[in-house]
Structure 1
Amino acid sequence: MTASRSDALRNRQLVLDAAQACFAAAGPQVPLAEIARLAGVGAGTVHRHFPTKRALVEAVVAARIDDLVAEADRLSARHEPGTAFFAFFAAAVEHIGFNKALCAAFEADSGDPLHVAPTAQRAFHAALGELLDRAQRAGAVRADLDVADVAALVAGCVTMERHHDPERPTGRMTALVSEVLQPGRTPLPAAVTKQATTRQERNETSVGPPQRHETPIGGESPRCEVCGTRIQPARTGRRARFCGAACRQKAHRRRRNHT
């Protein structure tokens, strides 16, 4: 390896180390000039290795996620499935929580510019999914969870631990969530599907006798202004004037013909 090549690699590592320290402490908003100063190199050196701020953030976040993936592999090889899963869950919360750059990456929406290192994040989800699958097959984790659920819980625990009451022990919220992940807990609710919209919900009324609780107090149901049919008042919104779309159109034509 030539001296120039060796110097370039050394300078790149210095920039990465400085960026890691800055981003972990203060987040990705740290200026590149501050990173260059901490690394002991010029701004041109930083831009030569990382043309944009995003490229530097991506490299730092990817390196930290790679560390998490390696930790998942290590725990999987040394412990039984349930122990490995819960140890990794706690380690991921702690590791991400102490690194503001990782917090930004894991909490950002997919369209946010801070949502970086997608390849590394896919590797994290794959490692987490493998641990989850092994733990579920061993009966150590409830079966109605998927990797998206667990990843969301990791991010949620990170937020809760960062804002926890200082008088309570660190890791308390993570331990509580870990309890919920174990078998024998209340089943998760089924997905909610939107009910079909009824005519009454669209403030249109149907012909027929009104329900008792929908009849105005002290009077009978209103009648259609066109045909005189009794109409059922809507539960919400303005008082209905017509029994349906046909009479509403007739009333509209009459008004138009008289103008």
Structure 2
Amino acid sequence: MNTPTRPPSPSEFQPGTVTLVGAGPGDPDLLTIKAVKAIGAATVLLVDDLVGEDVLAHASARARIVHVGKRGGCKSTPQAFIEKLMVMAAREGEVVVRLKGGDPFIFGRGGEEVEHLQAEGVRVQVVNGITSGLAAVTSLGVPLTHREHAHGVVFVTGHAKPGCEGTDWQALAATARDAKLTLVIYMGVSGVQRIQRELLTGLPAATPVAVVQRASLPEQRHAVTTLGELGATVAREGLASPSVIVVGDVISGVAAAVSHTTAQARAA
């Protein structure tokens, strides 16, 4: 795989190029300055479902906006078709921005898209965004790492590629226990019962867990519970995609503030 030799400057949003832009977790105030510049420079934007309209307010009035749905559990635009659209638009001389929720390189298929565009001879660059796993715990007032509670963090997907076995949750649980790691699980709500069952082979049932739905948005909801009660909590509180599950002792800072599991709407 070929990689860019240096980060491009904002002046390099040129015709015939593609920029993969991380739109962050949803709150438009969390966009980077460079992301805003890229969005404003685009003549064609290919936009994921999880990108809000407030983010698109930064687009030029002359830009063509194409919604290419990408959401777990819902009908999605085929990845091959999205890649074809990017190549076609770039070859037509457009300034193309592929606008993704979170960060393009954290479960956003950014790596696949960079490889495809480079293979087609299209110049591509990436603008990072704040990933929802970070925004989720920040909204609760706790860190992902802490010298006393967590020496590292693992970002992992709960949604396996068709035909693949997916994450070895039992091995991951043992590693998280021994190395004191925080687990941040994306796209894990639909498989939460299996994830819970297999994590319990290596982690105590009392391990604190938080589930955060629609992190950073006004309609954010969250529940604080334990690993032993995770599946029951998700079902009882009606938490659904898009949600992030955070497992580890860093959540104890939130758990200590509540005497029972809660799920609440974030104030508008």
TM over 0.5, shorter chain: no
Higher relative contact order (CA 8 A, sep 6+): 2
Bigger helix share:
1
Structure number having the greater strand percentage: 2
Question: Based on CA coordinates, which of the two structures has the bigger radius of gyration?
Answer: 1
TM-score (norm. length: structure 2):
0.26
